[in-house]
């Protein structure tokens, strides 16, 4: 990270700490904001958060590693999460996945070459009645077919 970037990051975290308060419970809110803006939480940011909240950096990392929606390395611009629960599986998840992999050109757990998409599995999205389901960023799509999934992804920028 460049020094300028570091300073900008520190200022950003300082503002967030100001906004949410200096107690431990603000940690998750701050992490969410950083994740939203930068699509990942770099190790420098983790240490700055730890310093400003007066906790240990490893505790921040522990929290990040616990949550699937927080990550320390940048992923693709759009994150596609396909539900891997049994219901979705029975409703033809595999065919949908194959179609998605072919369309995007990378496997699940990977990021596409143009960094536009990152594919991963999610545990039950809670939409078993209208399965198979997937979430693209924060929006969910249901009753998927291979064609429908490809169509949805093509509309994503």
Partner 1 sequence: MEDKNQRAPVSQKAHKVTIPDHPEHIGGSVTIEINEKRITVPMGTTILEACREAGIHIPTLCHHDDLCVAGVCRICVVEVEGMRTLQAACAFPITAPIKVKTSSQTVRKARRHILDLMLSEHYGECYSCVRNKNCELQNLAQEYGVDGFTFGHVTKSKYPVDESSFSVHRDNDKCILCKRCVRTCIDLQEVGVLESIGRGDNTHISTFMDKDLADVICINCGQCINRCPTGALYTNDPSDEIWAAIEDPDKHVVIQTAPSPRAAIGEEFGLEAGHSMTGELNTALRRIGFNKVFDTNFSADLTIIEEGTELILRLYQALVEKKEVALPQFTSCSPGWVKYLEHFYPEYISNLSSAKSPQQMFGALIKTHYAEKAGIDPKDIVSVAVMPCSAKKFECNRPEMVDSGYKDVDYGLTTRELAKMIREAGIHLPEMPKSHFDNPFGDASGAGLIFGATGGVMEAAIRTVVEFVTGNKTEDIFENANVLPVRGFEGIKYVEFPIGDKVGPVPELIKHLVPDWNWLKGATLKVAVAHGTANAKKIMEDIKAGGKFSECHFIEFMACPGGCLGGGGQPIPTNEEIRMKRAQAIYAEDESLEIRKSHDNPYIIKLYNEFLTDGPCSHLSHKLLHTHYTKRGKYIA
Query: Given the rule CB under 8 A, which residues bind partner 1?
Result: 24, 43, 46-47, 54-59, 61-62, 65-67, 72
Per the CB < 8 A criterion, the answer to whether 153 and 100 are in contact is yes
Q: How far is the CB of 18 from partner 1 (least distance, A)?
A: 19
Q: How far is the CB of 58 from partner 1 (least distance, A)?
A: 4
Nearer to partner 1, 61 or 92 (CB): 61
Distance CA 14, CA 151 (A): 42
Nearer to partner 1, 55 or 106 (CB): 55
Per the CB < 8 A criterion, the answer to whether 87 and 93 are in contact is no
Nearer to partner 1, 43 or 114 (CB): 43
Nearer to partner 1, 39 or 51 (CB): 51
Q: How far is the CB of 53 from partner 1 (least distance, A)?
A: 10
Q: How far is the CB of 65 from partner 1 (least distance, A)?
A: 5
**Residue 80, token pair as written in the block:** 């596609």
**Residue 38, token pair as written in the block:** 């930068």
Q: How far is the CB of 107 from partner 1 (least distance, A)?
A: 20
Nearer to partner 1, 123 or 143 (CB): 123
Neighbour tally for 79: CB within 10 Å = 19
**Residue 103, helix vs strand vs coil:** helix
Indicate the burial class of 81 (C-beta count within 10 angstroms; 0-12, 13-18, 19 or more). buried
**Residue 87, token pair as written in the block:** 């219901």
């Amino acid at each position: 990270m460049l020094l300028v970037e570091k300073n900008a990051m520190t200022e950003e975290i300082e503002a967030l700490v100001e906004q949410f308060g200096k107690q431990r419970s603000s940690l998750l809110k701050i992490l969410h904001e950083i994740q939203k803006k930068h699509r990942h939480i770099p190790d420098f940011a983790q240490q700055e958060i730890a310093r400003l909240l007066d906790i240990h950096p490893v505790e921040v990392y522990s929290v990040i590693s616990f949550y699937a929606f927080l990550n320390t390395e940048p992923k693709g611009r759009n994150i596609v999460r396909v539900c891997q629960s049994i219901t979705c599986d029975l409703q033809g998840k595999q065919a949908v996945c194959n179609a998605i992999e072919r369309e995007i050109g990378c496997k699940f757990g990977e990021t596409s070459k143009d960094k536009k998409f990152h594919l991963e599995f999610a545990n039950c999205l809670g939409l078993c009645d209208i399965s198979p389901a997937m979430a693209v960023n924060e929006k969910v799509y249901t009753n998927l077919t291979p064609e429908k999934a490809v169509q949805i992804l093509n509309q994503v920028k």
